[in-house]
């Protein structure tokens, strides 16, 4: 039987005991990712023998992250199935890596489950040096925007610290009004998560930076280590009315915080057309595939 608990700071040592044994490949393989999005996806966790299992509730079903740990995967997957059936709720298992597919094939066959890639949750990885120097014709438009910004504004980049984080929170609060989309629930929710993350920077070991024009904040970036080779950017915000602000904050953030890493991750696009277009425009070097196992209809 799986006994679930909420993801809290007090539970961090237990959760990281399991996470520290793997090479994280996705945002939700880190405590930072789990904690930041805990309320948005109703996240809970349970320990079963030598596994940790995370359960979320969205899209009208329970979604279980693929178990992290070692032992009998068929056994822990059956515990997941029993948990969902006991609660009389539809369920799915997701965040399955390509190399983990052979582990679940027999379980899927016996339980009439369907396995498929979920493009909306592929995470975008970019070569760090490319994102700093933006070489070649494909990235010429990004260089053009950055050159415009450099030539037309008196700017500077500063790290976010405890002394200036309150200014950053104010910027995020005002950014939503600048977008002139008062009924955009997605933007509002993202802003609340950003503000909560800024308030928890030190606790979560996050790094951030701000782009200023004449001492006024124009853009922010916030992120943390994913693994030994990858730094992930959790949030980016910029003034849309300032030409070049978005490419400039991205380049400067990577330059100041990601230079010791081979890749920088900008997470997934969650199926948002605008986000997908923006992330593809930087020509990712790797799209991290992720699979989901759901009941056959």
Shared domain check, 236 and 156? yes
Q: How confident is the model at residue 90 (pLDDT cuts 50, 70, 90)?
A: confident
| 280 in any annotated domain | no
| 184 in any annotated domain | yes
Over residues 211-248, the pLDDT tens digits come to 999 999 999 999 999 999 999 999 999 998 999 999 99
| 253 in any annotated domain | yes
The pTM is what?
Answer: 0.93
Over residues 147-206, the pLDDT tens digits come to 999 999 999 999 999 999 999 999 998 877 766 555 565 666 788 899 999 999 999 999
Over residues 49-58, the pLDDT tens digits come to 999 999 998 7
Domain span at 155: 123-267
Shared domain check, 95 and 15? yes
Does residue 276 carry a pLDDT above 60?
Answer: yes
Residue of 259 and 60 predicted with greater confidence? 259
User: Which pLDDT does position 180 carry in this prediction?
Assistant: 57
| pLDDT above 90: percentage of residues in the chain | 86
Shared domain check, 152 and 112? no
Shared domain check, 257 and 130? yes
DSSP the chain: ----EE--STTHHHHHHHHTTS---SGGGSHHHHHHTTTTTT-EEEEETTEEEEEEEETTEEEEEPPEESS-HHHHHHHHHHHHHHTT--EEEEEE-GGGHHHHHHHHHHTTEEEEE-GGGPEEEEEHHHHHH--SSTTHHHHHHHHHHHHH--EEEEE--TTTHHHHHHHHHHHHHHHT-TT-HHHHHHHHHHHHHHHTHHHHT-EEEEEEETTEEEEEEEEEE-SSSEEEEEEEEE-TTSTTHHHHHHHHHHHHHSTTSSEEE----TT-HHHHHHHHTT--SEEE--EEEEE--
Domain boundary among 94, 122, 150: 122
| 243 in any annotated domain | yes
């Amino acid at each position: 039987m799986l006994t679930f608990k909420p993801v809290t700071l007090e539970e961090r040592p237990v959760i990281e005991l399991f996470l520290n044994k793997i090479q994280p490949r996705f945002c939700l393989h880190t405590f930072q990712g789990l904690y930041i999005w805990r309320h948005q996806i109703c996240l809970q966790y349970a320990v079963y023998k030598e596994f940790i299992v995370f359960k979320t509730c969205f899209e009208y079903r329970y979604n279980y992250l693929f178990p992290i740990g070692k032992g009998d995967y068929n056994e822990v997957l059956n515990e997941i199935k029993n948990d969902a059936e006991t609660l009389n709720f539809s369920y799915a298992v997701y965040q399955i890596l390509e190399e983990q597919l052979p582990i679940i094939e027999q379980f899927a066959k016996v339980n009439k489950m369907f396995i498929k890639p979920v493009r909306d949750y592929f995470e975008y990885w970019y070569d760090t040096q490319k994102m700093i120097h933006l070489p070649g014709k494909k990235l010429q438009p990004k260089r053009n925007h950055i050159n415009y910004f450099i030539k037309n504004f008196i700017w500077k980049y500063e790290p976010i610290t405890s002394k200036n984080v309150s200014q950053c929170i104010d910027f995020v609060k005002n950014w939503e009004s600048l977008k002139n989309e008062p009924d955009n629930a997605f933007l509002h929710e993202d802003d609340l998560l950003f503000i909560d993350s800024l308030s928890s920077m030190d606790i979560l070991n996050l790094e951030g930076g701000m782009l200023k024009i004449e001492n006024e904040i124009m853009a922010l970036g916030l992120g943390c280590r994913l693994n030994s080779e990858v730094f992930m950017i959790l949030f980016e915000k910029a003034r849309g009315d300032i030409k070049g602000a978005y490419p400039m904050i991205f380049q400067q953030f990577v330059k100041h915080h990601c230079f010791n890493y081979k890749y920088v991750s900008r997470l997934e696009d969650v199926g948002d057309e605008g986000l997908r277009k923006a992330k593809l425009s930087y020509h990712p070097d790797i799209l991290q595939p992720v699979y989901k196992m759901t009941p056959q209809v």
